[in-house]
């Protein structure tokens, strides 16, 4: 394990005796001293989903330096040269000492995409976590082309039968026009920073991207609700693992999503929405016979990234500074790493390892 640990003042979303709460790591360790049951969010390496796991212990260590890592919409600080998880060029999640991080590296965060029923199961401590295997229905070899086009099937159906677009005087359309549209983004500011952290984390659990920014003494949370460029930028994964599939993508019939990847050669990330279409294209008959080796490993990693809960945050800056005080290492009863920080980022724990 790398030297150092979580810096004092690092927030974590936890379940304290079954109650959802955002606490600082030093307070979490005090709960453990009194025998309180505490759970934190970790990564399931089998399917790249996030889950709550028991905290079995907390070790306090000394550190003399700290590193502050900034990324779009957030940042975090660790004490000492602690381990941080990143996604490498073939989509594998690996530990890297924070001092070795470079601008452009991909940190591991999460944005879950789940239904309300699944959210109840996820947050209820009485229900045991169970894996939910993503399913892909391939009702035709061209389904991915259909869903990636901009025109909706409803409009296509209407045009085919001579209906055209609905007329503006249509009473049903007129009724719909009076319905107030939900905002695509909401910003809430808090004097209590723990409330801001909890809002940022829980909205990500609900499936909505969030970012943090300071405004005077307040901490403001931006939550993105509707699809669009802003949401695609935040709910994204590295494009490199998909580009490693170039040999099999070129040898198969290309969907609109595959063509997008091939045309935009300079993009470093790709939205999970498009990544899922590309992976589905391969799994639904686009995979050429005889593919093996590093290409198949990149494909497996791309499937996990596209259909799991993970999203990446790209490193913008890394700064070192002196540090005084204790650092904290958590010992977990399962999972890989621990999600910590104002915007959750996967950091090393005593059980870490993929």
Strand partners, 322: 65
Q: For residue 123, what pLDDT band results from cuts at 50, 70 and 90? A: low
Is the predicted pLDDT of residue 160 greater than 80, yes or no? no
Token pair 């909205």 is found at 203
Report the chain's C-alpha Rg in angstroms.
Answer: 22
Q: What is the CATH class of 5-131+311-347?
A: mainly beta
What pLDDT is stored for residue 342 in this prediction? 95
Asked if residue 119 has pLDDT above 80, the reply is: no
Q: Work out the percent of the chain whose per-residue pLDDT is above 90.
A: 52
Quote the CA–CA distance of 210 and 1 in Å, as a whole number: 30
The reported pTM is 0.81
pLDDT of residue 12: 96
What is the predicted pLDDT for the residue at 296? 81
pLDDT computed for residue 333 by the predictor:
92
Mean pLDDT in the chain? 79
Q: Give the pLDDT score at 151.
A: 36
**Bridge partners of 167?**
none
**Which one has a higher pLDDT value, 234 or 319?**
319
* Residue 343 CA to its chain's centroid (Å): 10
Q: What's the pLDDT at 265?
A: 82
Which of 286, 289, 301, 288 shows the shortest CA–CA distance to 244?
Answer: 301
Q: How remote is the C-alpha of 221 from its chain's centroid?
A: 17
Alpha carbon separation from 101 to 244, 265, 323 (Å, rounded): 23, 24, 19
Tokens read off for 126:
């009485």
pLDDT in tens, 161-200: 333 444 444 444 444 444 445 557 889 999 999 999 999 9
Indicate the domain borders of the chain.
5-131+311-347, 185-229, 238-307
DSSP SS3 for 40:
strand
Residues in Cβ contact with 91 at an 8 Å cutoff, skipping those fewer than 6 apart: 237, 238, 240, 241, 244, 298, 301, 302, 304, 305
pLDDT tens digits along 94-111: 999 999 999 999 999 999
> Is 237 or 132 the better-scoring residue by pLDDT?
237
Per-residue pLDDT of 247-285, as tens digits, reads: 777 665 567 788 888 888 888 999 998 888 888 877 776
pLDDT digits (tens, 9 = 90+) for 32-87: 999 999 999 999 998 899 999 999 999 999 899 999 999 988 999 999 999 999 99
pLDDT of residue 202: 92
pLDDT of residue 113: 66
Q: What is the DSSP string of 240-257?
A: HHHHTTHHHHHTS---HH
* Alpha-carbon gap, residue 154 to 199, rounded angstroms: 37
| Structure-model confidence comparison of residues 5 and 165, the more confident one | 5
pLDDT value at 146 more than 80: no
């Amino acid at each position: 394990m790398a030297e150092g640990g979580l810096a004092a003042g690092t927030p974590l979303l936890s379940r304290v005796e079954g109650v959802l709460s955002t606490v600082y790591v030093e307070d979490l360790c005090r709960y453990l001293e009194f025998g309180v049951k505490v759970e934190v969010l970790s990564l399931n390496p089998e399917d790249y989903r996030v889950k709550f796991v028991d905290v079995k212990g907390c070790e306090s260590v000394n550190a003399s330096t700290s590193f502050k890592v900034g990324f779009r919409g957030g940042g975090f600080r660790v004490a000492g040269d602690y381990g941080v998880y990143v996604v490498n060029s073939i989509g594998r999640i690996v530990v890297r000492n924070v001092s070795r991080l470079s601008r452009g590296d991909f940190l591991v965060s999460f944005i879950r995409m789940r239904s309300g029923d699944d959210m109840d199961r996820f947050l209820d401590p009485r229900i045991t976590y169970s894996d939910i295997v993503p399913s892909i229905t391939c009702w035709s070899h061209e389904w991915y082309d259909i869903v990636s086009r901009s025109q909706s099937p409803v409009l296509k159906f209407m045009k085919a039968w001579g209906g055209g677009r609905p007329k503006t005087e249509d009473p049903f359309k007129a009724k719909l026009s009076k319905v107030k549209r939900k905002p695509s983004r909401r910003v809430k500011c808090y004097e209590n920073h723990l409330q801001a952290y909890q809002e940022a984390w829980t909205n990500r659990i609900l499936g909505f991207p969030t970012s943090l920014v300071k405004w005077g003494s307040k901490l403001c949370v931006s939550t993105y609700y509707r699809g669009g460029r802003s949401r695609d930028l935040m709910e994204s994964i590295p494009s490199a693992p998909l580009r490693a599939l170039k040999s099999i993508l070129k040898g198969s019939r290309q969907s609109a999503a595959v063509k997008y990847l091939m045309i935009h050669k300079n993009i470093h990330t790709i939205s999970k929405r498009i990544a899922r279409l590309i992976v589905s294209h391969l799994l639904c008959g686009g995979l050429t016979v005889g593919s093996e080796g590093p290409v198949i490993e990149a494909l497996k990693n791309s499937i996990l990234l596209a259909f799991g809960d993970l999203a990446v945050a790209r490193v913008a800056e890394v700064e070192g500074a002196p540090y005084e005080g204790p650092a904290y290492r958590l010992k977990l009863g399962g999972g890989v790493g621990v999600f910590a920080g104002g915007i959750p980022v996967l950091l090393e724990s005593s059980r870490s390892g993929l």
